[in-house]
């Protein structure tokens, strides 16, 4: 069992380069199934979720490789359109494969990906969107079969600007007959990156980044080379860590325009942020100020994926802050762990009332999901004393060697392996 052991209280200093965006790379890897030939994708982060997606592509019969932050996928050998249940259970994002497989083979079988620590994570918007394009859906137990002799363009209105549903419908529509419009589409930068990738392969898509995306179906897509955008959530995580440890760091390869709401909130908390093209300097000299009210909601508002991390900074602020989570109904599992480190956080429905304390204290805590785990690392870096974090596989899903990243900035984090009790008995 791997753990992270953190000696806290050291201000972060130095420079780090931002890795490619996990949430752009995953749908783009899925979309590589649409091309008949070898696709090369650069700036792909070396993460557990990326390797699970590559395993799924291989299980479908594609040739997929990863080296030196680049992935190569040749889907010309794909023979299956059923995603192995065991692999689906490993990663919810395998649901992104429905659109490409339906577009390519006219059929796809998946399994309900199920909920996770942050919420129910339904897929009804995905299924309704594919049905609008002409797919028939048969559910038996948790097995879902989609079939469509020929997908036809349609006008799709999403009840909620779901990132995954927007991406799945885009990928299904690229070779459908006629025009598809997606209204109330999600506007995240990762969707814009997917549009760039698909258009390089010959698609005709406009509007990604706005709430209306239009896709004109084409006959065939061809391989291409594409570089993934930087990860705005990893960027935000490092920014919060600099502020929470009263450090001063420089981040390179940033797209500040992807972080407008995050920069705004951090500046309200008193964090100094200087921007020069794709370089950002972040300094948290004094004690942060409380922020009266932060509400997470779809892009371009404050991202749900930085809610837990921001809560750590607010736990150290001077005053009372209120954080309201509106995207995922269960994304507060980190509150209990932060309170074990001395934070003063009370829940009121889906709002967290955070009364800042002068300092946090090291403790033994457990990562419950990806971003909660990242928040605990930040808390451990800022706290007085030693913090031990268990269940760190959650963190490895979304951060390349988080300990190396923070240690290169002056942090003191060690990854330890403890054998489970029964193996010691042997």
List the interface residues with ligand EPZ, window 298-357 (CB under 6 A).
304-305, 327-328
**Of the candidate residues 14, 61, 65, 160, the single one contacting ligand EPZ (CB under 6 A):** 160
Helix, strand and coil percent figures for the chain, each rounded to 5? 35, 30, 35
Q: Per the omega criterion (within 30 degrees of 0), is the bond before 300 cis?
A: yes
- Residue closer to ligand EPZ, measured from CB, 160 or 416: 160
Least distance (Å) between residue 390 CB and ligand EPZ: 19
**Is residue 162 part of the contact set for ligand EPZ (CB under 6 A)?**
yes
Count, in order, helices (H) and strands (E) of the chain: 15, 23
CB atoms within 10 A of CB 412: 16
Q: How far, in Å, CA of 387 to CA of 408, rounded? A: 19
The verdict on 139 binding ligand EPZ (CB under 6 A) reads no
Q: Say how far apart CA 123 and CA 78 lie, in whole Å.
A: 25
Sheet containing 351-355: give its strands across: 293-296, 320-325, 351-355, 344-348
Which span sits near ligand EPZ by CB under 6 A: 118-126, 337-345, 351-359, 386-394? Answer: 118-126
CA-wise closest residue to 291 among 323, 317, 321 = 321
Positions in 175-204 near ligand EPZ (CB under 6 A): 186
3-state secondary structure 340-408: HCCCEEEEECCEEEEECCCCCECCEEECCCHHHHHHHHHHHHHCECEEEEECCHHHHCCCCCHHHHHHC
Instruction: Name the residue nearer to ligand EPZ (CB basis): 231 or 403.
Output: 231
Write the interaction track for ligand EPZ spanning residues 11-30; mark x where CB under 6 A is met and - where it is not.
------------x--x----
| H or E element that contains 227 | strand 225-227
Q: Which is nearer to ligand EPZ, 164 or 380 (CB)?
A: 164
Residue count (the chain): 426
| Closest CA relative to residue 335, chosen from 317, 347, 322, 325 | 347
- Residue 163 binds to ligand EPZ (criterion: CB under 6 A): yes
From the list 53-61, 156-164, 240-248, 339-347, the region that binds ligand EPZ by CB under 6 A is 156-164
Query: Is the CB of 3 or the CB of 371 nearer to ligand EPZ?
Result: 371
Q: How far is the CB of 328 from ligand EPZ (least distance, A)?
A: 5
Q: Of 62, 71, 165, 352, which lies in the binding site for ligand EPZ, with binding defined by CB under 6 A?
A: 165
- Which residue in 126, 226, 258, 394 binds ligand EPZ (CB under 6 A)? 126
Residues 6+ apart with CB under 8 A from 348: none
Measured in degrees and rounded to the nearest 5, phi and psi for residue 22 equal -55, -45
Residue 339 annotated in active site: no
Q: Which of residues 356-415 bind ligand EPZ (CB under 6 A)?
A: 370-371, 398
Single out the residue of 8, 20, 45, 164 in contact with ligand EPZ (rule: CB under 6 A). 164
Residue range at the interface with ligand EPZ (CB under 6 A); choices 162-170, 191-199, 212-220, 344-352:
162-170
Residues that bind ligand EPZ (CB under 6 A): 23, 26, 93, 119-126, 160, 162-165, 186, 304-305, 327-328, 370-371, 398
């Amino acid at each position: 069992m791997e753990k992270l052991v953190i000696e806290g209280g050291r201000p972060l200093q130095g420079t780090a380069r931002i890795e490619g965006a996990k949430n752009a790379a995953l749908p783009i890897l899925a979309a590589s199934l649409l091309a008949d030939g070898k696709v090369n994708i650069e700036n792909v982060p070396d993460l557990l979720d990326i390797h699970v997606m590559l395993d799924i592509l291989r299980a479908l019969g594609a040739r997929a490789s990863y080296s030196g932050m680049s992935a190569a996928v040749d889907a010309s050998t794909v023979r299956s359109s059923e995603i192995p249940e065991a692999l689906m259970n490993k990663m919810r994002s395998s649901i992104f494969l429905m659109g490409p497989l339906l577009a390519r083979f006219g059929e796809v079988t998946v399994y309900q990906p199920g909920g996770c620590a942050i919420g129910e994570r339904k897929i009804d918007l995905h299924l309704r969107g594919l049905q609008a394009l002409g797919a028939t859906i048969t559910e038996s137990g948790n097995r879902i079969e989609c079939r469509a002799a020929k997908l036809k363009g349609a006008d799709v209105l999403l009840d909620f600007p779901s990132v995954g549903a927007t991406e799945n419908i885009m990928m299904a529509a690229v070779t459908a007959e006629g025009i598809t419009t997606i209204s109330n589409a999600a506007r995240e930068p990762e969707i814009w990156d997917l549009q760039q990738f698909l258009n390089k392969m010959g698609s005709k898509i406009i509007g990604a980044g706005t709430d209306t995306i239009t896709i004109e179906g084409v006959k065939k897509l061809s391989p291409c080379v594409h570089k993934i955008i930087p990860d705005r959530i990893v960027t935000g995580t490092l920014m919060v860590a600099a502020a929470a440890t009263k450090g001063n760091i420089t981040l390179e390869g940033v797209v500040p325009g992807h972080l407008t709401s995050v920069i705004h909130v951090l500046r309200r908390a008193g964090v100094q942020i200087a921007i020069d093209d794709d370089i950002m300097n972040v300094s948290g000299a004094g004690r942060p100020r409380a922020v009266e009210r932060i509400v997470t909601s779809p892009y371009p508002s404050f991202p749900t994926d930085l809610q837990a991390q921001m809560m750590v900074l607010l736990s150290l602020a001077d005053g009372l802050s209120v954080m309201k989570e509106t995207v995922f109904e269960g994304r507060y599992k980190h509150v209990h762990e932060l309170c074990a480190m001395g934070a003063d956080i009370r829940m009121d429905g889906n709002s967290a009332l955070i009364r800042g304390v002068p300092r946090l204290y090291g403790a033994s805590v457990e990562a419950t999901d990806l971003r909660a785990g990242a928040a605990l690392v930040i808390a451990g870096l800022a706290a007085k004393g030693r913090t031990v974090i268990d269940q760190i596989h959650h963190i490895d899903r979304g951060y390349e060697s988080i300990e190396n990243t923070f240690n290169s900035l002056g942090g003191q984090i060690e990854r330890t392996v403890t054998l489970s009790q029964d193996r010691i008995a042997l």
